[in-house]
Structure 1
Amino acid sequence: MAKKKNYPLRLDPELYEMIESWAKDEFRSVNAHIEFLLREAVRKAGRLKNK
């Protein structure tokens, strides 16, 4: 498996709280949920290459 890229991310505290709550609802960590949301956005934009 490819190594993941580390990237510092600054978020508005209110946005972080919303994502944290949403992640809990989906049984994910905040990090995993942010990655999921970004992947979905890339897929919907037609930019995700099939693996």
Structure 2
Amino acid sequence: MPKKKNFPLRIDSELFAIIERWAQDEFRSVNSHIEYLLREAAKKSGRLKKDEK
């Protein structure tokens, strides 16, 4: 498994609340949901192959 990179993230409190509720709906932590959303966006834009993790 690739090593995870830690970094601080500043995010608008309203957007954070939306992501927090969304993550709960998907039974994920906020952190894993943000990673999921970023990974899906990278796949959609063609920057990450669909089978890469």
Please report the TM-score for the alignment, with normalisation by the length of structure 2: 0.89
CA distance in 1, matches of 2:47, 2:32: 20
After superposition, the C-alpha distances for 1:1-51 in whole angstroms (9 at most, x for unaligned) are 221001110000000000000000000000000000000000000010343
Show structure 1 runs of 4+ deviating over 3 A. Answer: none
Matched, 1:33 2:47: no
Q: Give unmatched runs, 5+ long, in structure 2.
A: none
Matched, 1:4 2:40: no
Please report the TM-score for the alignment, with normalisation by the length of structure 1: 0.92
Q: Give unmatched runs, 5+ long, in structure 1.
A: none
CA distance in 2, matches of 1:5, 1:32: 13
- The residue type paired with residue 5 of structure 1 is K
2:19 equivalent in structure 1: 19
What's the Cα RMSD here? 1.0
- The residue type paired with residue 23 of structure 2 is A
**Aligned residues with identical type, % of pairs:** 69
